[in-house]
A and B are shown apart, each in its own frame.
Chain A
Amino acid sequence: MSATFEVKPAPAAPARTEAVKRTPPPRPSRRTAAGRSLRRHWQLYLLIVVPLAYFVIFKYIPIANAVIAFKNYSPVKGPWGSDWVGFKNFELFFQNPVFWTLVKNTFFLAAYTVLASFPIPIILAIALNEIRNGRFKKTVQLVTYAPYFISTVVVVSMTILVLSPRLGFVNDAIGLFGVPQIDFLGRPDYFRHIYVWSDVWQTTGYSAVIYLAALSGIDPALHESARIDGASRLQRIWNVDLPGIMPTAVIILVLGVGNIMSIGFEKAFLLQNPLNTAQSEIIATYVYKTGLLNADFSMATAIGLFNSVINLFLLLGVNFVAKRITGNGLWS
């Protein structure tokens, strides 16, 4: 025991205060602090090497590789050896008649998703919060939460099966009202509705959890005093619950808006078929087709980069707005 004490001169915290006391200038220079930390905690630095290498290799090298957006990529010469072409790929993309369709499809699909999937979880959470804890409440929560864990492939397959003209029950149901069969997935106009509402079906229960937590954080004294003042349930929801979850809701809405252009590839691609591409072709699916199916690496990278940059600016702008509204940003 005493031997180890001699080997290790002093425990961490006292050493730190000692060092601050001993050094004449107000604070030690960063370099010596780094050196000391490195010497004392070399094991921690060793630990972090592999994960850091992961981020460098799979996140930062790709960012560097994105330089091929400005080049005519040749597999033989590699990303750095290929010939520069300036903004030619971007110009070609902007002039391509498909450009505006892609931007429009991506934007409308994402905006619709954000608009539809923002209020519904709030309503579900408030409704769940109104009823007493019991089996019914637990069942509703457990069931609505479950679809979140089903894979995209399965959700899309279910959607296709349920909406199928011959087999699905949706067509049977509308058939009862005398509506002729509709091939929902074969019609471009239905694509966005299918995408958005299957998304709402899948994620509402999950999103409601965050609001339920915010609701349980509301001071019960507020509810009690509102009751004493004779407020009805609806009035209490409006004047106590909604203001109470407002900060959470603002953050979530703002995040949703910030991520509008980064709407996922997975689901759109799976729901896509040759009949509905007029509305289902979004930037992400187009990048995949251009890059991997047509092997036009430079063009695909340019389109992806264009999207990433727009998304970055959207997020930064939205973060600025969030800071103004809630007092702190989305990160840091």
Chain B
Amino acid sequence: MSVTLQGFRRTAAGRSERTAIEETKTDRIFLIGVKIMLWIALIIVAVPLIYIVANSFSSASAVSAGRVLLWPVEPSIRAYKEAFSDPLIMKGYLNSFIYAIGGTLISVTLTIAIAYPLSRRTFFGRNVIMSLLVFTMLFSGGLIPTYLVVQDLGMLNTRWAMVIPSAIGVWQVIIARTFFRSTIPDELYEAATIDGASDLRFLWSIVLPLSKPVIAVIALMYAIFQWNSYFDALVYLKDPSLYPLQIVLRNVLILNTLTGSTTTTNLAQQLEQQQLANVLKYALIVISSLPVLVIYPFVARHFTKGVMVGAVKG
């Protein structure tokens, strides 16, 4: 039985190798079609990105005349200089870093603190608690009722409003819990207890070191979410000195409110200011996406795994 199976496998493999070499004509044409399609997809995604970068490095007059396409025209970094010397933009940048780092620390800690007990079979009531968490994904009180809670806690217009109300994501809890469950065997816990380890000691010295990959994934998820979000800031913050970068971006890019308030009566200068404002937009897009871009290779490697872990229902 096993011999014939082996023999069959070998012939199958042999055949498939042969067919791979002698692909039929239609298959080859089909493959060319597939490649063309992928090239088109690549171009569609890449062109707007390149366009933005090319514009950000061009001169103000070239941008305003719409002369830039995929390569900088009259290269200049004036827009970047301008952006980095704008106090409001820099303040937003700093704030975003504070929210992203602080928020991620809080979020990861709280997520592990709830995901780990829920992953333990001996934890009483874990199914009830899990259902309560999942329910919050399906139904929420809404914008205003949540706003009232934040208001009552005195968090309105404070940095806390940026990191606390959205601290724990149920999805991240599910990912972490599934990971703990599938990679930390019960035997390990039993062995640790025999050696006298308490639950917390076990979590700290054994589970966490073994869970570095999943912690990296959820930390990245929280950090990118925090960096990119603007809704909480829009709703809870009024003081411009607390604004994260995304709100500053929205004001400059979408609402067209210039940050630099240098009013000149000179027409030529005004025109130049207007032109500079246009390049500034492109430069701002690049600057604001830079931190995410820097960690992107890392993210691309780890994110997929995280998505997969989460997709396995626990």
Contacts and interface: CB of A to CB of B under 8 A. Distances in A.
Interface of A: 1, 4-5, 7-8, 11-13, 16, 33-34, 37-38, 40-41, 43-45, 47-48, 50-52, 54-55, 57-66, 68, 79, 123-124, 127-128, 130-131, 136, 139-140, 142-147, 149-154, 156-158, 160-162, 166-169, 172, 201, 204-205, 209-210, 213, 221, 223-225, 227-228, 232-234, 265-266, 270, 287-288, 291-292, 297, 300-301, 304-305, 307-308, 311-312, 315, 331-332
Contacts of B45: 143-144, 146-147, 201, 204-205
Nearest to A156: B254
Contact of A172 (B66, B140, B141, B165): B66
22 contacts: A5-B194, A11-B190, A16-B122, A48-B113, A59-B136, A62-B145, A65-B145, A65-B149, A68-B144, A79-B145, A131-B35, A149-B292, A151-B230, A169-B66, A201-B45, A227-B16, A233-B31, A266-B231, A304-B141, A304-B145, A308-B141, A332-B134
A153 B52 contact: no
Main secondary structure of the interface of A (DSSP, over half): helix
A149 B302 CA distance: 13
A40 B117 CA distance: 13
B142 A287 contact: yes
A308 B143 contact: no
B260 interface: no
B198 interface: yes
Given A41-B199, A153-B254, A210 B120 contact: no
Contacts of B111: 51
Interface stretch (B80-88, B210-218, B261-269, B282-290): B282-290
A301 B142 contact: yes
Contacts of A305: 142
A141 to B, nearest CB: 8
Secondary structure type dominating chain B contacts: helix
Given A153-B253, A312-B138, 16 more contacts: A37-B124, A40-B122, A48-B114, A48-B118, A58-B149, A68-B144, A79-B148, A123-B37, A131-B38, A151-B246, A151-B288, A153-B230, A160-B254, A204-B41, A213-B304, A287-B144
B213 to A, nearest CB: 16
B199 A213 contact: no
A205 B46 CA distance: 12
Contacts of A167: 63-64, 66, 278
B114 A51 contact: yes
Contacts of A139: 42
Interface in B12-41: 12-13, 15-16, 19, 24, 26-27, 30-31, 34-35, 37-38, 41
A108 to B, nearest CB: 22
Contacts, number: 282
Given A143-B42, A157-B249, A300 B143 contact: yes
A64 B249 contact: no
B26 A232 contact: yes
B117 A48 contact: yes
Interface centre among B134, B186, B231 (most CB of A within 10 A): B231
Nearest to A146: B296
B132 interface: yes
Given A12-B189, A65-B149, A172-B66, A232 B140 contact: no
B102 to A, nearest CB: 16
A11 B193 contact: yes
A50 B227 CA distance: 24
Contacts of A45: 117
B264 to A, nearest CB: 22
B282 A152 contact: no
Contacts of B308: 213
Contacts of B110: 50-51, 54
A201 B249 CA distance: 21
A150 B289 contact: yes
A304 B101 CA distance: 32
Query: Which 5 residue pairs of A and B lie closest in terms of their CB atoms, listed nearest first?
Result: A62-B141, A304-B142, A65-B145, A151-B228, A51-B114
A152 B307 contact: no
